[in-house]
Structure 1
Amino acid sequence: MKSVLVSVVIPCYNQGKYLEETVQSVLASSYRPLEVLLVNDGSIDNSLEVALSLQRKHEELTVIDQANGGVAKARNMGIRAAKGEIILPLDGDDKISADYIAAAVGLLREQSEVKVVYCKAVKFSEAGQKPWKLKPFSLAALARDNMIFVAALFRKTDAEAVGGFSEDMHMGREDWEFWIKMLKNGGKVVQLPFVGFYYRMTPDSKRKKTGTGRKKRERIDYLNKKHADFFQRELNGPLRIQRTWSREYNNLLRWVGKI
Structure 2
Amino acid sequence: MKVGVIIPARNARPWIGEMLESVRAQTHPAQAYLAEDRSDDGTFEWVRERPELYAGMARNRVRRGWAGSLNAAAKLALADGCDALFTASADDRLHPDCIARCAAVLSADGGRDFVVPYAQQFGEADVVQASLPDATIEDFVQWPPLIDKALIRREVWEQVGGYSPKATLPGSYGSAEDWEFWIRVWKAGLTRYAVVEQPLYFVRVHPGQLSHDRGEWHAATVGLFRKLHPDLPWTADSGVWPPRHRTTKRSGHA
TM more than 0.5: yes
Partner of 2:218: 216
2:149 maps to what in 1?
151
Residue of structure 1 in register with 2:44 after alignment? 48
The letter for the 2-side match of 1:103 is: R
Secondary structure of the structure 1 residue equivalent to 2:167: coil
Which residue identity is paired with 2:164? S
The equivalences for 1:55-94 within 5 A come to 55=51, 57-58=52-53, 60-66=54-60, 67-82=62-77, 83-94=81-92
Give per-residue Cα distances to partners, 1:68-115, cap 9 Å, x unaligned: 111100111111221201001111101110111111111222345622
Q: How many residues align?
A: 231
Partner Cα distance (1:238, 1:25) in 2: 43
The equivalent residue for 2:248 is none
Per the TM alignment, residue 239 of structure 1 is displaced from its structure 2 partner at its CA by 6.9
Q: Which residue of 2 aligns with 1:255?
A: none
State the one-letter code of the partner of 2:115.
V
CA RMSD of aligned residues (A): 2.1
More helix by share: 1
- What displacement does 1:216 show? 1.7
Distance 1:185 1:42 in 2: 33
Match of 1:165 among 163, 182, 195: 163
8 Å contact kept, 1:224–1:238: no
Deviation at 1:194, TM superposition (A): 1.5
Q: Which has the higher contact order (CA 8 A, sep 6+)?
A: 2
Q: How does 1:7-156 map to 2 (within 5 A)?
A: 7-32=4-29, 34-55=30-51, 57-58=52-53, 60-66=54-60, 67-82=62-77, 83-112=81-110, 114-125=112-123, 130-134=126-130, 136-137=132-133, 138-139=135-136, 140-156=138-154
SS class of match (1:181): helix
5+ residue gaps, structure 1: 246-259
Counterpart in 1 of 2:249?
none
Give the distance between the partners of 2:227 and 2:215, measured in 1 at CA. Answer: 20
Question: Does the 8 Å CA contact 1:87/1:153 hold for their aligned counterparts?
Answer: yes
- Structure 2 counterpart of 1:206: 210
Q: Which has the larger radius of gyration?
A: 1
Q: Is the 8 A contact 1:19 1:50 kept in 2?
A: no
Q: In the TM superposition, what is the alpha-carbon distance from 1:189 to its structure 2 partner? A: 2.4
Query: Where does residue 252 of structure 2 map in the other structure?
Result: none
Q: Which amino acid aligns with 2:89?
A: D
Q: Is the 8 A contact 2:35 2:58 kept in 1?
A: yes
CA distance in 1, matches of 2:236, 2:156: 26
Deviation of 1:142 (Å): 3.0
User: Percent identity at matched positions?
Assistant: 22
Verify: 1:197 aligned to 2:201, yes or no: yes
Structure 2: segments with no counterpart, 5+ residues? 170-174, 246-254
